[in-house]
Amino acid sequence: MKELINEMKKNQEKKRKLSLEIGCGSLVDLTYDDVDVGDDEYEGGSQGPVHDSKGKGKGKGKEKVGGKSTGPFSRFFAPRTSPGSQPSIKSAMCSKEMIDKAKMTIANWWYDANLPFNASQSKFYQPAIDAIAAIGPGFKGPSLHELRGNLLKNSMTEVQNYLLDIKTSWRDSGCSLMADGWTNQRQQPIINFLVYCPKSTMFFKSIDTSGLRKDAETLFKIFDEVVQEVGVKNIVQFITDNDAIYKAAGKKLQQKYGSFFWSPCAAHCIDLMLENFCDPRHFPIIDETIKKARKITKFIYNHVWVLALMRKDFTKCHDLCRPTITRFATNFLSIQCLLLFKKELRQMFTCDKWIVSSYSKSNIEKEIAVIVLEDREFWTQCQFIVTISEPLVRVLRLVDGDEKPAMGYLYNAMEKAKENIKARLKNKVSAFMPFIRVIDARWDKQLYSPLHAAGCLLNPGIYFNPCFKSKNDVSRGFMTCVVKMEPDIDKQDEIIQQIDMYKNAYGDFGQPIAIRQREKNNPVAWWGTFGNEFLAL
């Protein structure tokens, strides 16, 4: 800023000397030209060169790149369209009628082209408007020929370069290959392959399996081909469904290469744990309670008038079914909602509108009302189900969410969930042991991977927490990962030396700021800041 001011002062001095030779009449114009406080100087975009009466441009000190001013002021101000930015003089002087007319013009084109409204949330929407405004009136939009010709090719090239940049990062950070099987609207079975790395998640390819046999050998050949395309050395883990044939194919692939891990879908595994909680062979009372809860929600949502009465007069537009929170465990989430709105449901089934309505007369409706109003055992069991399921539902939200990578948190989250269930059941072995057995059966035989242990050890917010008691277990898992993923013996030794320095908080790991940031920062950012001294690790 100081350099900019000094440069402006020197220019002013030169112009003043020149103005004395020309005459006092032009002094004012020249002084204002030095500072150049027009709209172009302050805006992120430019509306073309400003010409004086002789047709000569005044903006000599400014370059324009891509229609944007790169003069001295533009470096210090955010674009006018960014949130919270100060409007330009020109836009501030526009009347409300002019702004409304401009918006209406865009809206009419929008409706005529039948574009979806959420297209206005595209990250390319505002930049497109800025680019048009920078050129000014008279700009002609791209034609049909250009849109499906050169512009489309250019866009494809940009996307391919972006994907190439992501693929290049696989060599440095490794990646997770994910296989997601589903059925499309034509009832064709399809497997989508996606690749996750810290930089981004990328759709890799899709395979139609409708003409293939659904056995482990066929899936193995498909998976093997995709693995080779991604690069065996780049893959850290391969994730599939929990179905028996997927598991067999994944295990066979892991044995063939030996350098990466096969893992089942964590969200699906935890959902299966919850399903086992209501298995009628082992937990008949829980199964019966869930059936009653389904009967209540099914009745309410199958009758428009009853649903409208509940939403409008009692739950304040809240629903009993929340399938959008997670793709799994909807029964347990619905029971949580039933408990939350227990008082409101009882009020609904005793209000005047319900009593005088035709819905309160039939046998089915009377049965529902009896469950809600008189069945104390039902509400007691609902409370019990929430008590044992809520810790697992929290873990499910962790692994099924997009807020942060769950690998460094899952091991500790599962241990905490089991401890929480024990504490909620007052540490009575006879009460909690059946549910802990269900969790351990799925966790030990299906879900657990040494990667979970390694991720937990490398998460400083968990590993250095005084309450964390499984340091030996996660260390063993970490050793397994080192041996499996790093074939070079010398590098293995170097990693083990550096992990000891990490465990004992030597070097940058022991700085006061590094210690303070263990729980405040996510593990990836923490290692990026304090782990540069330990490149092998």
Instruction: Write down the pLDDT at residue 517.
Output: 92
Burial class (CB in 10 A: 0-12, 13-18, 19+), 107: exposed
Is residue 312 within 8 Å of 267, Cβ to Cβ?
no
Instruction: Quickly tell me which residue has 């494809």 as its tokens.
Output: 156
Predicted confidence (pLDDT) at residue 24 exceeds the cutoff of 50: no
Residue 400 is predicted with a pLDDT of: 82
Give the model's pLDDT for residue 513. Answer: 93
The stretch 434-463 carries a mean pLDDT of: 92
Nearest to 179 by CA among 245, 233, 273, 234: 245
Least confident window among 91-95, 142-146, 208-212, 433-437? 91-95
With beta carbons less than 8 A apart as the criterion, state whether 357 and 305 touch: yes
Q: How far apart are CA 209 and CA 188, in angstroms?
A: 8
- Residue ranges of the domains in the chain? 2-90, 95-138, 159-264, 267-448, 450-537
Pick the CATH number of 159-264 from 3.30.420.40, 3.30.420.60, 3.40.710.10, 3.40.50.2300: 3.30.420.60
- The model's pLDDT over 177-204, given as tens digits with 9 standing for 90+, comes to 999 888 877 888 899 999 999 888 999 9
Least confident of 132-136, 194-198, 453-457: 132-136
Could you give the CA distance from residue 265 to residue 237 in angstroms, rounded to a whole number? Answer: 11
pLDDT at residue 89 tops 80: no
Amino acid letter, 523: P
337 token code pair: 């909602």
Length of the chain measured in residues: 537
Does the structure show a pLDDT above 80 at 11? yes
Helices (H), 278-375: 284-302, 304-313, 330-340, 342-348, 352-356, 363-374
Query: What is the Cα–Cα distance from 213 to 403, expressed in whole angstroms?
Result: 37
Beta strands, E only, 375-503: none
For residue 44, name the pLDDT band (cuts at 50, 70, 90). very low
**How large a percentage of the chain has pLDDT more than 70?**
85
Could you report how far apart the first and last alpha carbons of the chain are, in Å?
43
**Nearest CA among 519, 536, 526, 523 for reference residue 482:** 536
Higher pLDDT, 341 or 34: 341
Cα angle at 215 between 214 and 218, to 5 degrees? 90
**Window from 341-345, 401-405, 492-496 with minimum mean pLDDT:** 401-405
Model pLDDT, residue 82? 64
**What's residue 401's pLDDT?**
76
How far apart, in whole angstroms, are the C-alpha atoms of residue 284 and residue 377?
14
